[in-house]
Structure 1
């Protein structure tokens, strides 16, 4: 057994074997996979093997699509039949809301190239007469997917991996990870058996591995402890039952009919497929408990939990309603096993926080569907530096150190329950909230704030009616213009015409200081560094030259910088900043280059005040020898920072506004937030100051063509492709510059005004067409109060990025006219932002 390898994959389920296979296929030699028991002995063995393409995530849809295509090639390569039954997937809808959900999903499917068909109830009944359809609205049908045998596909990938030189070793448990500066020392123990239990023997080895990938499934919490990190992957019980043969199916197949597709009645919260003349029912019921919050017992191997039929009675009865022939059929078998989840349902794929060459592939609730694509795209990240798609939405660092085991367990239970609950794009789930609250939370709630959750922080999405019941926000959700839309529209107009106050406390904030701060940040970012008292917008790049993150840099002193970035990505940005500093320091170490990095996110609260009357509001409370001029262009120009006093609160005021109006960000000591909120609201009363939420702000920033990280900005496009040339100084050297220039311009970011359907706006997931040819996709969408119509931002072929180009955007299964407009269609000269007074 080798003790020195290029890459060590820990975990022999479908995900781990796929990663090992794809690393070898990508050209890496000396790849080893370790499994503590037998291949597939974790959740893989009891998985139902379904391959649903349906997913609202752009990255995850790519992953699932790759898997479905890849699995069909395995038999030719390995000689092993992976057991793929391409029977299709019929997802039924009982309500119009559900059909709206499917039409929004179809937008994502189109951008990825996933085929689908629409079916009416009559068409369903004509094709599959055993299905009751009179209470259905319709269905979406995927003809290319179906189900697969989890063990067979895993063994096929394992054989393919061995054929490419991968070493697969069973009955070896990892008991420790130690970083040796340029490689990992992985302590492994040979496992034996006693009384049916897996037990460690006295045989141990240490494997030196340049890279390690953990794909440890149900054992993720043990992995997290050994690595000293947090991994919010905790299993939840999932039950499915197998019936005795149904005479109606037996007769149906005997007559020469094809196997039924995988049937999903999302409104009834279950899936069903044929199994040897009977049915498999898999429900996603309420109150399924999380398991193994801290450890998997040594006695739990390829084991199951007791079945809880009472918990799934409602789903079982609804299956009988949908498939009447199943009513008299008895139960043949049952399964209740652990399936890993994460709080948002997406797996954790990518570099581990704070660690070098340690990669995570954990938290797969649809592991068989995702295994193939995860191996493919993770191998790209490891071998080439980045994947061809933006994997940030799956990055393990999207959860910070504030997350606890209890939080992950409760959110994972909620995620399981929500598998078939309507996935509104304006959805905000309730479990574990409120948790992270800024001081002004109660004041905002008293004003009708309806909150969203960003990195655990409660942030107002909009302000609803003061007498709203607790269910108001839930009832206001929609796939079209929900009940909240009128409030967001009024808030957007308030900023355009008067003044609005936005809570931006969730912003990530870092201080970089010391004599090495200036040369480091100059190398780390694309733009010129600002002078003292000024600010710049800038970008940090991946090694592939694409956008890794966006920063607003405030230069507080000669060697003291304040970096502001997106609140949802605090841990992601913090980790990247620290690792980049280590890389820079390795080449520039010295007494004149020392520097410090401090995460100050929770020290500073942030209010953004914006609108043509915002200066009037601040003048009411600013303390200065000449309060009439302290906020003027002469003393406080656009894109500058000043330390001012608002009443008794010291404020680091930054003259910038994400809404495109005259405005300031007011960074203040967190402990003084309530005082400052009260001062601002009182001073603003006579000027019509309106509290404003994030949804109105999102609409307004699109009117200014302001790109947002996670939508327009990501690891699949360079700043030049995003149209941010003015923030890239090509006269200096910076990290990722050569790769950015080598990439060229594959697509361009544009802003579009859209004549969409009445009562609906795009969500930023829709495909763009030139005639019948798909030419791009939206990344953001919403409503423009300035133009009285829908607005969106997205990427198109470079030749179609010219102002005036007419395209079509597909919404609710119909094409709608869209026109490429100039960047910053609202106030293109920035007259409002620069307004003096």
Structure 2
């Protein structure tokens, strides 16, 4: 049925694999009154020319979940909807040229095993048994993924479309959307076939997502890249091997050389991600065409010459084949290479499911995630890695192009924990950035804001290559240790621009906040941590609440949480009431001054302040003739204050504190040191230790739950969980005999049984221990329990520590 109905529940704009998967999953969940609009024919965008590879590999836990779900869905989809599909589950090999690549593979193997996948790491001598035509002389090994393979993108999309239609959903083709407007809490979508009203709308427009986004006042952060792959004629040796073995070769990826090579019938398909890549449609002389359906760019083979030669050297039979065809089509890229799935920032009842670089592999899982967002307002897996709100106002078009080209050219690169990618930097600078840089600050971006990660001394190796390691030891290590010990013994100052900051005020604000949070709202003059749960009791976010008056508050949260947390507050705000929320993030800066000498330093510059006021208090003060707010907290776990000041007042305040501190051993410290210090205190970090993958009770945060409150979001679910018994609990582990600290999602073992995972890890320089914060099976929570932790494929002894901070367990130093 192609007629346009006058009204429906959900409108999806875009008929590629992702949009159709969203329609299918909505219908499967019972939301059959939904319509998909496509300006041309289904698959006419990036889907039709996609290579169709379906990997599960990812170093991201959430993306691996999504891709794993896709492979599981695709295996059964054809039979479920009675539609024939060519899905070849061939397995794949990813080649490693370095020890670091093998370490990455071992980490992904552990994550895959935890998700139930039989991913394995092979030695060099095992590779030819799976791929006999391969040259292996310069390799270290390979990762084997038995679930990898390829699928026909058009058949996949049509199968999903048939399933959706059979359940009652509608698809209207050749129906371009021209505008959107909001009336009476409805969306009115204008198309070439008339208007359609709906409750919810989804931008699934692929490489045209920015064009569609503008209809909603949204500038989608994306660029369009040209991706080429080459199809080769039949290779007799390959045809003979396939006949003899009854199948296809595993899909091959030489990730260090940056290409994939796949058997295509009895020929091959070579797809490079070249360094000398090209973005399209981002300049006035290269505008996006009105319609590019089923079209390609001209061939640009000169860009591929090096990769072709490398592939022939790796698989010599490729050199005997003639070139059959070159596919050069548009693929959308977000600035970090991950798609956008979730609420459209700042736009009510609107969602994004677009900018998929690997839409075929992720399409099945994306449809599931999208349907959950729309129907339930939350997702099974924490999907922050894909949430559109992870970007804010710094993603102008040039930034998006610069980052897309960087990501494309490094598509298969290892993502080392301390490596900072150079493109798109210096978007937002602290008012004392020049001072921090002069002190040796080595910067990293946080929601576009440049913060010092560590401070180099003259002669230190600050090259980009120096950070390309998983080892704890690097040029930063000695400096981070010095910074931590300065905080322990004297004092440190950390410039912290970009804290997300919201002013909440108006009659009833206290009661409203109390209903949103699990704990108590502090009294005027006090500050406290507040945890926000969803209706399932899962951790949505953490904010500090500074009470200026009975109904007057400042809420401060992570820099990257700005749009996420603001949207959460605004979504729950009573309509038409006196309570207001004002985002003042751009107006303020913050320094952390902490360490046993911090009171002495402040005494020299803030004489009128009452520096005897206790922990978790705040006050206004004057430094260098400028007003600021002194907040008696420290994420570093030492005596200290946060100094909050207006942007224009910050340089004078910083200079005064810095000068006063020189007689007390004051040193600058960076984000790497802060991470070390906070882990020793067991302080949680957002979207690692604190995420919707865990409940408030699992997160070890029951002390922040006030059961006596009449109601708060998530109370019923948390009460039921408490009564049934919490199945896993937050635990601090110390690791023995490892040169590596535990990355996120390292696996915990008791014998041959997986019993938990890490949520963050690092080295504590005050305690001299490698520490992992973790989620552990509840019955193993007893202090002294001995486990093993798998780090890059090796298991190391680990001990469950007491349920209190490793450093200053009684908080005597922080309260001093």
Q: TM-score, normalised by structure 1?
A: 0.93
Q: Which moved further from structure 2: 495-504 or 335-344?
A: 495-504
2:229/2:269 contact within 8 Å kept: yes
The residue that corresponds to 2:779 in the other structure is 799
Instruction: Report the CA distance between 1:312 and its aligned residue.
Output: 1.5
- 2:107 alignment partner in structure 1: 104
In structure 2, the CA distance between the partners of 1:309 and 1:261, relative to structure 1 (3 Å rule), is same
| SS in structure 2 at match of 1:774 | strand
State which of 117, 120, 129 in structure 2 corresponds to 1:117.
120
Counterpart in the other structure of 1:85: 88
Aligned twin of 1:606: 590
Match for 1:819 among 794, 799, 810?
799
Q: Which residue of 2 aligns with 1:480?
A: 471
Contact 2:55 2:67 in 1 (8 A): yes
What residue is the counterpart of 2:237 in the other structure?
Answer: 248
Out of 539, 548, 555, the position equivalent to 2:547 is: 555
Superposition deviation, residue 756 in structure 1: 4.3
Match of 1:644 among 603, 621, 640: 621
Aligned to 1:830: 811
In structure 2, the partner of 1:712 is: 689
Deviations 1:240-278 (A, max 9, x none): 101122233123224336421110111111000111222
**Other-structure match for 2:252:** 263
* Contact residue 207 and residue 332 of structure 2 kept, 8 A: yes
For residue 700 of structure 1, give the secondary structure of its aligned residue in structure 2. Answer: helix
Moved more, 291-300 or 78-87: 291-300
Unaligned runs of 5+ in 1: 190-203
Structure 2 distance, partners of 1:751, 1:736, is: 23
Q: CA deviation at 1:46?
A: 0.5
Counting only pairs closer than 5 Å after superposition, residues 440-459 of structure 1 correspond to structure 2 as: 440-459=432-451
Whole-angstrom CA distance in 2 between matches of 1:381 and 1:653: 40
Residue 687 of structure 1 is matched in structure 2 by: 664
Paired position in structure 1 for 2:742: 762
Secondary structure (helix, strand or coil) at the match of 1:397 reads helix
Aligned to 2:714: 736
CA contact (8 A) 1:446 1:466 kept: no
Counterpart check, 1:594 vs 2:594: no
Residues 221, 765 of structure 1: alpha-carbon distance in 2 compared, 3 angstrom cutoff:
same
**Residue 412 of structure 2 corresponds to which residue in structure 1?**
420
* Secondary structure of the corresponding residue to residue 460 of structure 1: strand
Unpaired runs of 5+ residues, structure 2, are none
C-alpha offsets along residues 29-76 of structure 1, whole Å, 9 cap, x if unaligned? Answer: 212211111111110011111112111111111000000111000121
Matched, 1:777 2:757: yes
For residue 428 of structure 1, report the CA deviation from its aligned partner. 1.4
CA contact (8 A) 2:731 2:776 kept: no
- Work out whether residues 747 and 795 of structure 1, in 8 Å CA contact, stay in contact via their aligned partners in 2: no
Mapped to 1, the partners of 2:144 and 2:411 lie a distance apart of: 18
Match runs of 1:18-167 below 5 Å: 18-167=21-170
Q: Is 1:622 aligned with 2:600?
A: no
SS at match of 2:586: coil
1:569 lines up with 2:561 in the alignment: yes
- Is the 2:56–2:147 Cα contact (8 Å) retained in structure 1? no
What does residue 352 of structure 1 align with? 344
Instruction: Give the whole-Å Cα distance in 2 for the aligned partners of 1:747 and 1:315.
Output: 50
Using the TM superposition, give the Cα deviation of residue 107 of structure 1 relative to its aligned residue in structure 2, in angstroms.
3.5
CA deviation after TM superposition for structure 1 residue 372, in Å? 0.3
Residues of 2 paired with 1:749 and 1:700: CA distance? 22
Q: Give, in whole Å, the separation in 1 of the partners of 2:291 and 2:139.
A: 46
Question: Separation in 1 of the partners of 2:782 and 2:85?
Answer: 48
Moved more, 215-224 or 174-183: 174-183
Q: Distance in 2 between matches of 1:174 and 1:218?
A: 15
Q: Which moved more, 1:798-807 or 1:59-68?
A: 798-807
Report which stretch shifted further, 761-770 or 178-187: 178-187
1:290 match: 279
Does the C-alpha gap of structure 1 residues 113 and 646 become closer, same or farther in structure 2, counting only changes over 3 Å? Answer: farther
1:726 partnered with 2:710: no
Give the distance between the partners of 2:144 and 2:765, measured in 1 at CA: 37
Match of 1:512 in 2: 504
C-alpha distance in 1, partners of 2:459/2:354?
Answer: 43
Q: Is the 8 A contact 2:394 2:427 kept in 1?
A: no
Aligned match of 1:429 in 404, 412, 421? 421
TM-score by length of 2: 0.96
State the match for 1:537 in structure 2: 529
1:655 to 632, 635, 639: 632
- 561-570 vs 647-656, which deviates more? 647-656
CA contact (8 A) 2:103 2:793 kept: no
- Output the CA distance in 2 between the equivalents of 1:751 and 1:448: 36
SS in 2 for 1:685: helix
Could you tell me which residue of structure 2 aligns to residue 195 of structure 1? none
Partner of 2:374: 382
SS in 1 for 2:47: coil
Q: CA deviation at 1:384?
A: 2.5
Cα-to-partner distance string for 1:636-663 (whole Å, 9 max, x where unaligned): 1110001112232322010001111111
Q: Report if aligned partners of 1:92, 1:138 keep a CA contact under 8 Å in 2.
A: yes
What is aligned with 1:194?
Answer: none
- Number of residue pairs the alignment of both structures matches: 805
1:673 pairs with 2:654: no
> 2 CA distance for matches of 1:559 and 1:678?
34
Q: Does 1:461 align with 2:453?
A: yes
Does the Cα contact within 8 Å between 1:712 and 1:722 map onto a contact in 2?
yes
Structure 2 residue aligned with 1:523, among 512, 515, 527? Answer: 515
Structure 1 SS opposite 2:682? coil
Bigger drift between 723-732 and 270-279 goes to: 723-732
Counterpart contact for 2:734–2:800, Cα < 8 Å? no
Match of 1:193 in 2: none
Q: Could you report, residue by residue, the CA deviation over 1:582-635 in whole angstroms, capped at 9, with x for unpaired residues?
A: xx23xxx5xxx51221111111110001112211222222232xx7xx312xxx
Instruction: Describe the SS at the equivalent of 1:435.
Output: coil
Matched, 1:169 2:181: no
Q: How far apart are 1:757 and its partner, in Å?
A: 4.6
Indicate how the Cα distance of structure 1 residues 747 and 460 shifts in structure 2: closer, same or farther if over 3 A, else same. farther
**Offset at residue 743 of structure 1 (A):** 4.8
Answer yes or no: is the 8 Å Cα contact 1:111–1:766 preserved in 2.
no
1:185 matched to 2:188: yes
- Is contact 1:386-1:544 (8 Å) kept? no
Counterparts of residues 578-593 of structure 1 (less than 5 Å):
578-581=570-573, 584-585=574-575, 589=576, 593=577
**Which of the residues 400, 411, 422 maps onto 1:408?**
400
Contact 2:203–2:213 (8 Å) recurs in 1: no
1:135: Cα distance to partner?
Answer: 0.4
